């Protein structure tokens, strides 16, 4: 497969790139900082400098044209302002939806967050973050794309356990970023998660068995 990853220098994205490259996929990584080019090349991805907050939709579309799937793994990150939750986590993700539709990239997998199913109404940064995630998810789910929304619990930087739990109802646990990458790899290479919102946490099952259990 030819897969475009937005936010390709992020922690989940880099784990995912290495998994995809190891299985023979082609990865293009959208980054905003040209200083990250060498890291992406070392991971085996083709870097494409494309800032999702400032690029217009046709530019993003050009960056992903011909891909079989896009993954939104970008984020304004901890410590960022409420405004950037809107310009990045909401509008950047939605721009990628528009771009995928514009050039016929059929599949879109979103890294969202638990809590986006019922975002709080407040104006605190974390409230706005969840509102932004919710709006991005809703825009994707309304699109004609073959979508999957993954909503991890709290992310950790521990090594992969290879054991997760996937739920179709909200579940708040924690999960390693590397295990989230493993779930992304799995859902990208099959159709079972298309049209699904899956809550991703550490658990007892390998990703394949966890997906079977969640969608049966």
Angle between helices 125-142 and 91-103 (to 10 degrees): 20
Give the position of tokens 């579940």.
171
Give the position of tokens 């060498």.
38
Contact window for ligand NAP (CB under 6 A) among 63-71, 73-81, 99-107, 159-167: 73-81
Query: Across-strand partners of 167?
Result: 199
Does residue 159 bind ligand NAP (CB under 6 A)? Answer: no
Which of 32, 90, 107, 165 is the binder for ligand NAP (CB under 6 A)? 32
Nearest Cα neighbor of 184 from 2, 5, 16, 7 is 16
Q: Measured on CA atoms in the order 78, 137, 72, 23, is the torsion positive or negative?
A: positive
CB closer to ligand NAP, 63 vs 145: 63
CB closer to ligand NAP, 33 vs 81: 33
Instruction: Work out how close the CB of 144 gets to ligand NAP at its nearest, in angstroms, rounded to a whole number.
Output: 23
Instruction: Work out how close the CB of 77 gets to ligand NAP at its nearest, in angstroms, rounded to a whole number.
Output: 4
Q: What is the DSSP string of 95-139?
A: HHHHHHHHHT--EEEEE--TTTTS---S-SHHHHHHHHHHHHHHH
Restricting to residues 96-155, which ones interact with ligand NAP according to CB under 6 A?
111, 113, 152, 154-155
CB closer to ligand NAP, 10 vs 202: 10
Does residue 51 bind ligand NAP (CB under 6 A)? Answer: yes
First to last CA, the chain: 26
In the shown chain, the binding pattern of residues 176 to 205 toward ligand NAP, with x for contact by CB under 6 A and - for none, equals -x----------------------------
Which of 3, 4, 5, 10 is the binder for ligand NAP (CB under 6 A)? 10
d(CA 107, CA 94): 14
Does residue 94 bind ligand NAP (CB under 6 A)? Answer: no
CB closer to ligand NAP, 4 vs 145: 4
CB closer to ligand NAP, 24 vs 157: 157
Q: What are phi and psi of 64, to 5 degrees?
A: -110, 0
CB closer to ligand NAP, 87 vs 205: 87
104: left (phi over 0), alpha (psi -120 to 50) or beta: left
Residues that bind ligand NAP (CB under 6 A): 7, 9-13, 30, 32-33, 51-53, 73-77, 88, 92, 111, 113, 152, 154-155, 177
């Amino acid at each position: 497969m030819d897969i475009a990853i937005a936010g390709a220098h992020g922690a989940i994205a880099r784990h995912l790139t290495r998994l995809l490259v190891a299985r023979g996929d082609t990865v293009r990584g959208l980054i905003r900082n040209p200083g990250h080019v060498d890291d992406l090349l070392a991971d085996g991805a083709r870097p494409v400098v494309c800032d999702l907050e400032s690029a217009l939709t046709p530019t993003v579309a050009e960056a992903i044209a011909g891909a079989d799937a896009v993954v939104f793994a970008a984020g304004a990150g901890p410590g960022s302002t409420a405004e950037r939750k809107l310009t990045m986590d909401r509008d950047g993700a939605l721009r990628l939806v528009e771009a995928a539709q514009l050039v016929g990239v059929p599949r879109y997998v979103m890294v969202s967050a638990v809590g986006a199913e019922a975002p709080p109404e407040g104006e605190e940064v974390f409230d706005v973050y969840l509102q932004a995630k919710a709006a991005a998810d809703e825009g994707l789910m309304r699109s004609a794309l073959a979508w999957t929304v993954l909503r991890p619990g709290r992310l950790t930087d521990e090594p992969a356990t290879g054991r997760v739990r996937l739920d179709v109802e909200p579940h708040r646990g924690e999960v390693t970023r590397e295990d989230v990458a493993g779930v992304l790899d799995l859902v990208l290479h099959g159709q079972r998660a298309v049209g699904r919102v899956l809550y991703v946490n550490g658990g007892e099952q390998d990703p394949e068995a966890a997906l079977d259990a969640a969608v049966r």
